Amino acid sequence: MTARLVVAGTHSGVGKTTVATGLMAAFAARGRAVAGFKVGPDFIDPSYHALATGRPARNLDAFLSGPELIAPLFAHGAEGANLAVSEGVMGMFDGAGAGGVRGTPGGCPGGVELASTAQVAKLLRAPVLLVVDCGAMSRSVAALVHGFASFDPGVDVGGVVLNRVGSERHEQLLRQALEPLGIPVLGVLRRRAGLSTPERHLGLVPAAERQAAARRTVAELGAATAEACDLGAVAAVADAAPPLHATPWEPVIADPWPVPSAGEPAGPSSGPPHRRPVGLGIASGPAFTFVYQENLELLQAGGAELLPVDPTADERLPDGTAGLYLGGGFPETYAEALAANRPLRAAVRDFAAAGGPVVAECGGLLYLARTLDGQPMCGALEAVGRMSDRLTLGYRRAVAAAPSPLASPGTEVRGHEFHYSQLQPPVGATAAWLLDGERPEGFVAGGVHASYLHTHWAAFPELPGRLVTAARKGAAP
């Protein structure tokens, strides 16, 4: 089984992304095949992990996928790697909590530790590297680390990394305080403003929006981490992880290729003889970077040919497009470019008006609206979008409220909301979901299913299966 460790923190903003990405880059530069993971629903940090490792980064979220899929998803994502580094979320023991999501214990087991870094570390049997922000403490660091190491005996804290250390004297005081605990200090990072990464309202700026600068940042993080950390000792902690017996998850959709009708022509040898792959346009480019890798793999497993389309640049839908998947991202940042691309806006509007299957999540929902902060969008939905200073955030349980290309009525899923934008009206005449048993949300109009809800399809493969089926029904023979 792949050597592995989890990079956890005492709280948000402690430097987990710096340390985790730096370790990934440092080990990759030394020839190890590294797989990167992010605990939780975050899309942005994994974009830096992918740059550091040279392979897709993946999410491990015990609420979205269910605890039972964490180890299989990990094993799938770590195939071909000999080291896996998983970056945690918030503080190590922070998660959804039993009371944080209405009805959670019955719909997704996990109790008060649900979706926390600690829970994922235990599910992976992975040692933890605890990152501590030491910018305003010295001897108190020992009480803090002792508390985190002893709070849950099931969590193995294999070492600590001291971040934002001010001086050699400061480092000496910290080490002296920690020595009696017997937990090794595996790294000490000094304050370095030059290693900061640009941020905005939802966190870091995605790597896809600043490719050249992001690559430089990742390379600098790798070099700084190699200098600040004992990579040999870190590798020893990861290599000592006990065996993890997990069958890798596979992207499988039940019966994705319907049996042909009598006389129907056969397809190419690349797939089952009776069906050709069906084209599915996938929103891409700098404005649309929020999509789970497993979602794309499930679409392909169901028979979709993924056709990337950049709404900031491409003026027409790809040839053969029979369905659209518009994921999340930052359309508000690129509103002018999206508005200026009139040909594609018209093509998407016409495709939706003709009944073509369209699934949109969060940023894709805004793109389908009439306007966003006054800039014209596609106009496929009778709604107006605007940015606000109010954050809508949280895990949700959802039930499909109407038939759509994504779900049949009554389908139960788990998802996550994270946005500062608002729509007027906030919900369509026909809602997409009923959230947490009471709040209608989203829009179903013709062949369009549009919602703020992000869903991880590994736990609900019927969703991508339904989208591919809808696209196939509308595809030209």
CA 281, CA 304: separation in Å to the nearest integer?
9
Tokens encoding 26: 């440092």
CB 256 within 8 A of CB 465: yes
In three-state secondary structure terms, 444 is strand
Tokens 């992990």: give the residue.
49
Torsion of CA 8, 14, 18, 22, to 10 degrees: -50
| Beta sheet of 185-190, edge-to-edge order | 58-60, 34-39, 83-87, 3-9, 128-133, 157-165, 185-190
Instruction: Report CA 383 to chain centroid distance, whole Å.
Output: 27
Beta bridge partner(s), residue 360: 326, 450
> Residues 108, 134, 229, 362: which is the catalytic one?
362
Please spell the DSSP secondary structure of 254-268, one letter per residue.
SS-SPPPPTTPPP--
CA 364, CA 350: separation in Å to the nearest integer?
16
- Rg of the chain, C-alpha, whole Å: 23
CA distances from 297 to 58, 292, 293 (A): 12, 9, 6
Tokens encoding 383: 């709604």
Cβ atoms within 10 A of the Cβ of 240, count? 12
* Burial (Cβ within 10 Å: 0-12, 13-18, ≥19) of residue 474: middle
Query: Which alpha helices (H) appear in 96-210, and where do they start and end?
Result: 104-107, 117-124, 140-150, 168-178
DSSP conformation class of 96: S
Query: Which alpha helices (H) appear in 205-308, and where do they start and end?
Result: 211-228, 231-239, 293-301
CA 365, CA 453: separation in Å to the nearest integer?
10
Active site residue 362: yes
Q: Residues with catalytic annotation?
A: 362
